[in-house]
Chain A
Amino acid sequence: MTLDELWAHPPYDLTAAEKESALSGILSERIRSHYANCEAYRKILDSLGFDPQANHATSDLPFIPVRLFKTLELRSVPKESIVKTLTSSGTSGQAVSRIFLDAENVRSQTKTLNAIISSFIGKGRLPLLLLDTEMIKKDRSMYSARGAGIIGFSIFGRDSTFALDADMKIDVEKVAAFFEKHADEPILMFGYTYMIWQFVVRALEDAGRKFNASNAILFHIGGWKKLKDQQVDALEFNKRVQGVLGNVRVYNYYGMAEQLGSVFVECEHGHMHCSNYSDVIIRKPSDFSPAPIGEKGLIELLSVLPTSYPGHVLLTEDEGEILGIDDCPCGRKGKYFKIHGRIKAAEVRGCSDTFEKK
């Protein structure tokens, strides 16, 4: 199966077995292309003793640690073809990931994100309330994965309205006007998990302000670490969002700046789903062999999309587990899983530097 043929399918209709045959073919092809066009990638595969010429099962494909995008320039097309360089600092601080996108890769990301999100909200464009600040678009220095996410999501909406001002304060009047204007139709909302919690939910609760959307859908993405520290889980998050915004269907989704487009969306049953364009393998940390259903391990992400940079098979630093295959009560096929968050930082044994920045 080719990527075009995949696009002809609804995004969650392939069983794991059908998808395996599709993905192993497409990804083996990706590997050959990156191997031929990205020297760093070629050196890694050679070092791992991997034969790119043969087709391989998805679980046998070599993975690239996501951190490598911070330390190396990984690019599989000539510099001149790059139309966008995404940067993302992630959570670990100083070093910044750089993702090089050419026009084709941008197009396939958009098309895929469209297919996935449309399957939840329908084909029409809905009025869009962005739970973030417009500064993210205006300030070039903020042109990060966060900005790209906002811009990327904007294609699903019309009358895009930013709910936060430049100081990250919620503009209550503007939001009220937006809800009033679109009182008779479904509304789409988008934002980053922690920003929504801090600058929308908490801010509105503190101000004692409530909105009463009658039919809204919220997509949110981002880390849960700070929320976990405050003992807020997905259930609590959804409840509190509904408490301040009204009748909102809340969808959390998961994705890496390194694999924009082929995102993972949590269904009504709280399960993260792989779409036809992506897959998840859980790796045992001891030897990187695949872990069975229900066993925690490192999350490896596969995506058919990356063509201009070798981000098609990634080893993340997140921990998760497969919950089941093809049998989620929501009806979506393929693997569904749970994310437990970042792996525990290594406890340092030895005399590394005592220095710490103020």
Chain B
Amino acid sequence: MRDICNKPLRVFDANVVEFLGELSAELLKSPLVRQYPDLSAFAFYVRKANLAKLREQLKLEDGRLGRGLCFHIAPANIPVNFAFSWVFSLLAGNANVVRLPSKPFPQVDALLSVIQSHLSRNLELESRNLFVRYPRTDNETTAAYSAIADCRMIWGGDRTIASVKALPSMPRCVDIAFADRYSVALINGEAVLAADDTQFSRLIEGFYNDTYLMDQNACSSPQAILWENDSPAARKRFWTAVEALARKKYVLQDAVSVDKYTLLCEEAVKNPAVKSFTRVENLLYRAELSSFPDNPVEHRGKGGFFFEYALKDRSEFFAVVTEKFQTVTQFGIDAEELRQQIVGHGLRGIDRIVPIGQAMNIGVIWDGCDLIRALSRMVNV
């Protein structure tokens, strides 16, 4: 194991911001960003101007600096997530050990080689940042990094979290764990009907990207669609367009077809709240609910399988929200009003309200947590 510096830097350290700006510029110039949209999103995120804006929005106090060394367990299946996790901690002023996804992804290798070549020209940052790849089953290595970490960013679900938390860490080590979460879409039917062509096609594209693009596997992908001001016309306009776009773009894997059909059979047997199913080939499955179930989290869709419910009243929804709820993607909803209701009702879940289409946009406020503040400390005077 290489010796790694654990001396904190200021939040948004000038050298760090400069470094990320250069990294972004190089990535945006390279053909890689056209090849990999996720890499392109990352390159845009670490633009100098965006970082300046971010800093402004965060209104960070004076006297903030990193906690020391942060150990990142990146998720296995979202390739570029490791880089976001790293950047949040870097901006918070930490040195980093980043465990890369164990599965090989071309965009991970491509991004990593650009990062490494930049680091090699920045001795200070090079000594503070280490990217490692080892088998997931190698618990000894995870234990060794855990033992020296001042904070741990643990992605990848409940079981990973349990296994990493079971490893000894320093008494003041801060763990930020990204658990399995559940998300829904909240759609105003009248707004769907009122949308002009541009707004409407943006809605449908956005919904597709939130769901089909990752087979609904992401925590922030909506599993259930909740309708307000529901009408058959709104549903028809929405689903006809979703179906048409999915037909054009979605690659349905054979195994996902079987999973989806199996899920439908299981739901038919086990979920008394399902009133009826609508199937468009194996492309789009919809399960209409007669009531919003008490445990919606246990009913997840997959690859274009949606639960649907017409809300009579928003409190019906709030009644079942648990700490598992993460994102509400919305269309035609007053987000500020919804936010006030979540706070006012003292809900244990829902950390995020974003327009449909932004479910996957990861940011420095994630899972209800201001990551820059959580990963840094403040010197109080």
Contacts and interface: CB of A to CB of B under 8 A. Distances in A.
B262 interface: yes
A351 B136 contact: no
Nearest to B138: A358
B160 interface: yes
Interface stretch (B189-197, B253-261, B372-380): B253-261
Contacts of A206: none
Contacts of B101: 354
Interface residues of B, number: 51
A351 B252 contact: no
| Most interface-central of B102, B163, B255 (chain A CB within 10 A) | B255
B356 interface: no
A191 to B, nearest CB: 29
Contact of B258 (A43, A343, A355, A358): A343
Interface stretch (A3-11, A29-37, A60-68, A230-238): A60-68
B261 A350 contact: no
B330 interface: no
A48 B137 CA distance: 42
A355 B159 contact: yes
Contacts of B267: 47
A203 interface: no
Interface string A59-80: 0000011011001100000000
A285 B281 CA distance: 9
Nearest to B78: A351
Interface string A322-358: 0000000000000000000001111111111111111
Interface residues of A, number: 36
Contact of B157 (A72, A315, A319, A355): A355
A165 B351 CA distance: 60
Nearest to B99: A354
B264 interface: yes
Contacts of A44: 265, 268-269
Contact of A286 (B159, B163, B257): B257
B249 to A, nearest CB: 13
Contact of B253 (A46, A288, A344, A351): A344
A357 B135 CA distance: 11
A64 B265 contact: yes
A351 B282 contact: no
A315 B75 contact: no
Contacts of B78: 350-351
A168 interface: no
Contacts of A346: 215, 253, 255-256, 259
A351 B81 contact: yes
Contacts of A47: 264-265, 267-268, 274, 276-277
Interface stretch (B43-51, B55-63, B217-225, B334-342): B217-225
Nearest to A67: B262
Contacts of B277: 47-48
B316 interface: no
A317 interface: yes
A342 to B, nearest CB: 9
A355 B156 contact: yes
Contacts of A315: 258, 261
Nearest to B281: A287
Nearest to B255: A346
B255 A65 contact: no
A229 B46 CA distance: 44
Given A349-B214, A349-B215, A350-B214, A65 B265 contact: yes
A353 B102 contact: no
Given A65-B258, A287-B281, A344-B253, A354 B155 contact: yes
A111 B266 CA distance: 33
B161 to A, nearest CB: 9
A140 to B, nearest CB: 30
Given A47-B277, A286-B252, A315-B261, A350 B218 contact: yes
Contact of B252 (A285, A343, A348, A350): A285
Contact of B136 (A43, A65, A287, A354): A354
B320 interface: no
B77 interface: yes
B13 interface: no
Contact of A353 (B180, B266, B274): B180
26 contacts: A40-B269, A47-B276, A48-B277, A64-B265, A65-B261, A68-B262, A68-B266, A72-B269, A286-B283, A288-B281, A344-B254, A346-B259, A347-B253, A348-B215, A351-B75, A351-B77, A351-B78, A351-B157, A351-B219, A353-B156, A353-B180, A354-B73, A354-B155, A355-B136, A355-B156, A358-B139
Interface of B: 73-78, 81, 101-102, 136-137, 139, 155-160, 163, 180, 213-219, 221, 252-259, 261-262, 264-270, 274, 276-277, 281-283
Interface of A: 40, 43-44, 46-48, 64-65, 67-68, 71-72, 285-288, 298, 315, 317, 319, 343-358
Given A43-B268, A349-B217, 15 more contacts: A43-B269, A68-B262, A285-B254, A343-B254, A345-B255, A349-B77, A350-B78, A350-B216, A350-B218, A351-B77, A351-B81, A353-B157, A354-B136, A354-B156, A355-B157
